[in-house]
Amino acid sequence: MADFWPKDMWPSSSPDLNLLDFAVWGTLERETNRTFHPNVNSLKAAIVKEWNNLSEKFIINSCIAFCRRVEAMIAAEGGHIEHVHKDRVSKFCEKNSKMIYQKVIPDIFF
């Protein structure tokens, strides 16, 4: 897609740099679809329940993995990335883990 779209024109619904699309929505969908919901209110209640059940560990791991994706996008100069190496925690994440704990996590939970 990097060759098709100019770098200053990016699709508005690109999930590449959206933490909710990257980690959260898939998890919520998987958990809430385990049972049939006869109506919208039942589905909404299940989504809220699963949202509240997201563990701090899941959020932290998602933030760390997301940092790797951001770093890969920067390295690719906004171009396409196939995958992000999960076997390492990037220097970016290591340097910013304190910020993640102090700013991102409280914003999510409080």
Query: Cα–Cα distances in Å, from 14 out to 22, 46, 62, 98?
Result: 10, 26, 18, 28
pLDDT band (50, 70, 90) for residue 88:
very low
42 with 90, same domain: the answer is: no
Could you give the CA distance from residue 93 to residue 71 in angstroms, rounded to a whole number? Answer: 9
Query: Cα–Cα distances in Å, from 109 out to 17, 25, 49?
Result: 21, 17, 14
Please give the average per-residue pLDDT across 35-56, as a whole number: 93
59 with 105, same domain: the answer is: yes
48 with 34, same domain: the answer is: yes
Question: Is residue 6 domain-resident?
Answer: no
pLDDT in tens, 14-24: 555 677 777 88
Q: For position 68, what pLDDT does the model report?
A: 77
Question: Is residue 31 domain-resident?
Answer: yes
pLDDT band (50, 70, 90) for residue 25:
confident
Total domains, the chain: 2
Question: Is residue 5 domain-resident?
Answer: no
Higher per-residue confidence, 61 vs 96: 61
Q: For position 1, what pLDDT does the model report?
A: 47
Question: Is residue 12 domain-resident?
Answer: no
Question: Is residue 11 domain-resident?
Answer: no
Q: Whole domain around residue 104: which residue ranges?
A: 55-110
Could you give the CA distance from residue 66 to residue 44 in angstroms, rounded to a whole number? Answer: 26
46 with 61, same domain: the answer is: no
Report the predicted TM-score, pTM, of the whole model to 2 decimal places. 0.55
